[in-house]
Structure 1
Amino acid sequence: MVFMVSRCIEWPEQLPYSPVAWLNPAEIRLLGSLMLTECFEGGPRCIFRPIPLFRAYIDQDLDLTSPITLARIKRSLLDARNHTQKSSLLDAWKAIGDEEFDCFDRASIQNSLQPLFWKAISSRNLVLLRGLYALVKADMLAGNFEFREEATMNTFISLDASHELVLRYLRKNGNPSPTSRDAGTWLYRTFDEPLGLVYGEDVRYFASFYDRRIQTFHPASRHGDMPFAPLEWDDYNHLRSVLPSIFGYLITGQHTPQFHDLTFQARERRG
């Protein structure tokens, strides 16, 4: 059994109530800080499958480095399953232990950067939290072939969040009215050009996904009527692999050491 411990931070009161918003800001912050340690376009992904609505609230200071403390927390979580009547959640609990976790060596990610990302993710940055939350949901859905469309739709939500954050970044850095093309230029200069990719700057932000995203969310559009989502199998894979690095750069203002290694290799290839 895997569990996480976070502070009990609720959403701002001015936001509308939603019974389907089942991760709180602190939980998204913790999971997101782990996702941002992934390597850029390669390596394993930090994929989570949280069981919703099962929490044990602890009103005291704890030493989380103590095995005794962790054992007590686990015991409290197991006791929490006795306080629900929802059959779907009980079924989820019954499945614990039936499947093995897909684990990987922590050296496969940039684990030392997790504290940096955790500090940089603000619980007041609601657009960032939505983008990270959408990636968590995308991974949960992508594990089932029949939900690949819905998984990709969640990466599109995360893509929209990243687009808005890039526009805000550009405004903060002197562009009073940035456009999607400005965001595309920023993406090219910040990520693609250092890696040796050449396609020019005058393109919209992730332009290749724009039409498919419109057709996926809208059954009828200027592109015509669409009875299914016109998605490629790798749409989810590509967005899922690059969006964490974009979020990470936007909140820290710097690339990871692994990305710098990739740019060095690109310069070596170009001679």
Structure 2
Amino acid sequence: MNDSNKLKPLTFLSRKGGVARENGPFYRVMLFDPRGMYPSGTRFIRSGFFHADEDVAFSVVRGRSWDEVLPDAPYSEFNWASPEELRLMVSLVLCERRDGPYVSLYPVVRYGPQLDVKKLDLRDPATVVRVRELIIETAASASRPYGPHGRIEGLLGRKYDLVDPRRYGFDRLRAIWASLGDASFLFFRGVYTLIKADMLGRHYEFSEEAIVSLYIALEASFSIVLRNLREREGVKNPSAHDAAVWLHEHFDAPFGLPAPDATERYFETFYEERVMTLHPASRYGELPYAPIMHDDIPHLRRSLREIFAYLLLDEHGPDYDDDVDQHVKKTGQSASA
């Protein structure tokens, strides 16, 4: 293992230098705000790592920009997370357990400095220490709000909300990260909106907007389920009812819950409220406010996270199997799926 005390201190590239390296792999740092909730310690994946302690939370990845991955994509000012950063964040979120704490990420957007280094061992714990020292020194010296590091001026100094990593399913982290290499952009968009919902949910006055983000995630999951029904199960023109049946068979049937009736749709209990929230004037009339509740946030957030993880790996986590076993022991019923 390298001795970080004998290594040259790391530095960030200048803005000009960072732009010059956008056409090739780079080492990019992402910081996270204390308003999130993070697993303590360091989680390593092949292309980088995520670290959180009481003083700072950050990630480092080696990757390319969206312009290189999608050269013909429409212009956007919201592609602030690079492809590998998004892949890492999605991996962390999907490692949650059914009734466990969230991985509630709150990234500092529009701030992604690159490390001024051509080669870096991202699996060496000494690298974590070196980057941590650089971030803390940079944040302490940031004095101009419009300077290159103005986004993190005053960021540190508050204690981070940490969770024991044993409360998550990080034994699946590498499998999830590897599977995301073949995931669709639709899948990433769905889990990305779960992250945005968590950020909005930290501000009580934006709870409605958090639910709207969850509606986007719901729509993404629905589209993926329909795609799987067509491509894997040979269902021609699958409907919202077919998606409801799929959901029951893969999640609810083992708990003895009743099957959907002949007209029930995918997440039907949210259908009318979703229409009235997203369409101020609809066949349901006009309302001066959205007809939704704060409890919709944990309901959708937990359900959709688990659905996305299942759609990615095509299997449930051990926590689901444990819950089914507990249900069988308690009720004496046999699992039907």
Residue 176 of structure 1: aligned partner? 236
Q: Report 1:106-185 matches (<5 A).
A: 106-122=165-181, 125-173=184-232, 174-185=234-245
After superposition, the C-alpha distances for 1:116-135 in whole angstroms (9 at most, x for unaligned) are: 11111136611011011101
User: RMSD of the alignment, in Å?
Assistant: 2.4
Residue 217 of structure 1: aligned partner? 278
Instruction: Report which stretch shifted further, 69-78 or 203-212.
Output: 69-78
- Going from structure 1 to structure 2, the CA distance change for 1:85 and 1:100 (only over 3 Å counts) comes to closer
Letter in 2 for 1:53: R
Q: Measure the CA separation in 2 of the matches of 1:167 and 1:83.
A: 49
The Cα of 1:7 is off from its aligned counterpart by: 2.8
- Going from structure 1 to structure 2, the CA distance change for 1:61 and 1:90 (only over 3 Å counts) comes to closer
Residue 4 of structure 1: aligned partner? 59
The Cα of 1:198 is off from its aligned counterpart by: 2.0
Match of 2:251 among 172, 188, 191: 191
Query: Is residue 200 from structure 1 mapped to residue 257 from structure 2 by the alignment?
Result: no
Query: Is residue 50 from structure 1 mapped to residue 107 from structure 2 by the alignment?
Result: yes
Confirm or deny: 8 A CA contact 1:55 1:77 kept in the other structure: no
Confirm or deny: 8 A CA contact 1:47 1:136 kept in the other structure: yes
Q: Measure the CA separation in 2 of the matches of 1:263 and 1:91.
A: 50
Q: Measure the CA separation in 1 of the matches of 2:138 and 2:238.
A: 49
Q: Measure the CA separation in 2 of the matches of 1:235 and 1:155.
A: 9
Q: Measure the CA separation in 2 of the matches of 1:80 and 1:180.
A: 51
- Going from structure 1 to structure 2, the CA distance change for 1:21 and 1:86 (only over 3 Å counts) comes to farther
Q: Measure the CA separation in 2 of the matches of 1:84 and 1:192.
A: 54
- TM-score, structure 2 length as denominator? 0.74
Q: Measure the CA separation in 2 of the matches of 1:213 and 1:95.
A: 38
Q: Report 1:89-104 matches (<5 A).
A: 92-104=151-163
The gaps in structure 1 that reach 5 residues or longer are none
Q: Measure the CA separation in 1 of the matches of 2:143 and 2:273.
A: 41
- TM-score, structure 1 length as denominator? 0.91
Confirm or deny: 8 A CA contact 1:184 1:201 kept in the other structure: no
Confirm or deny: 8 A CA contact 2:197 2:214 kept in the other structure: yes
After superposition, the C-alpha distances for 1:140-172 in whole angstroms (9 at most, x for unaligned) are: 000111010011110111111100110111112
Letter in 2 for 1:205: Y
Provide the secondary structure at the position in 1 that maps to 2:304: helix
Residue 22 of structure 1: aligned partner? 80
Q: Measure the CA separation in 2 of the matches of 1:220 and 1:84.
A: 48
Higher strand share: 2
Q: Measure the CA separation in 1 of the matches of 2:122 and 2:158.
A: 26
Q: Measure the CA separation in 1 of the matches of 2:254 and 2:272.
A: 27
Letter in 1 for 2:202: G
Residue 265 of structure 1: aligned partner? 326
The gaps in structure 2 that reach 5 residues or longer are 1-55, 333-337
- Going from structure 1 to structure 2, the CA distance change for 1:186 and 1:86 (only over 3 Å counts) comes to farther
Provide the secondary structure at the position in 2 that maps to 1:3: strand
Q: Measure the CA separation in 2 of the matches of 1:99 and 1:79.
A: 15
Residue 50 of structure 2: aligned partner? none
Give the structure with higher Rg (CA).
2
Confirm or deny: 8 A CA contact 2:143 2:150 kept in the other structure: no
Match of 2:309 among 248, 251, 255: 248
Provide the secondary structure at the position in 1 that maps to 2:162: coil
Instruction: Report which stretch shifted further, 66-75 or 207-216.
Output: 66-75
Instruction: Report which stretch shifted further, 22-31 or 199-208.
Output: 199-208
Instruction: Give aligned-pair identity as a percent.
Output: 34
Q: Report 1:222-233 matches (<5 A).
A: 222-233=283-294
Confirm or deny: 8 A CA contact 1:39 1:109 kept in the other structure: yes
